[in-house]
Structure 1
Amino acid sequence: MIVRILGVVSCLLGLAALSFYSARTGSAEVDTIPEIIAKGGLPNGQEVALTSDVKITDIGADQFVAKQGRARIGVLIPAELMPIWEKTKPGIKIGDYVSLRAVYRSPGHLEAREFHVHKGRRLKIWVSLAALLVFGFLIVKQVREGNNA
């Protein structure tokens, strides 16, 4: 019985350690919109990657406004990405999350190189958390049933 509990706990601790490691390590080129604005911009042509909690707050014909925290920055869609933008734009709603790789252009906007809109991101997170709770409940139930045997 003790071996079973130790096995489950060690697996959960291993999963937690891997999650923590994944969250703390990443590309050194990942920036945030507040960092870009706090620096007063970046050198013209510098590439940035925005991947965490970037929301779309306004949508135009060839651009959108990205918001992270309270900071906002305009993102232009270049001609080579227009076919992808035209396909993607009808399904985008204000408040959707986006990851993008872009180039900083003076004065104060980005030119997209790649982008991906995360449809239903918050729903997916809640579903994952619900599955985790069910899994935890089943583990507790199994451990208790093991004690009664």
Structure 2
Amino acid sequence: MADIFNIPVRTSEGKKMTLGEFEGKVLLVVNTASQCGFTPQYQGLEDLYRRYKDRGLMVLGFPCNQFGHQEPGSDSEIQEFCTLNFGVSFPIYAKVDVNGSDAHPLFSHLKQEAPGIFGTERIKWNFTKFLVGRDGAVVKRYAPKDKPEALAADIEALL
């Protein structure tokens, strides 16, 4: 199993890092988009983050433009959109691919560890969510239609 905390990522400001600073925390990793029917879930994700961050939850947003070209903006435009429209204070990273030959290693790992319906690894749409335990093990995958507030009991069980 790959160590999720060593997978390289890039912030929306272009800084290279790993998720190592979040080791020991519960992670909710989400592929996001600003022009999607599920975009209002940003508010629910922010609510979860504010409710549980002091107990060790980190919500991590990874914008993706692979589904209906619903995330056309630049990294800075996406960050501004999230902050102005939903008060997002959790980290929003640089835009990534989640499927295909250019899929980001983080999402390749998440999909392998928590396949979707019928065992398929492919992410079907924006706002697919992955819950990761404090030890870095992928605990569960949630569909785009699963509202953030519906994840609260699973998050609490890990905190």
Q: Which one has more relative contact order, counting CA pairs under 8 Å at least 6 apart? A: 2
- Between Structure 1 and Structure 2, the one with more strand by share is 1
What TM-score results when the alignment is normalised by the length of structure 2?
A: 0.27
TM-score, normalization by structure 1: 0.28
Larger radius of gyration: 1
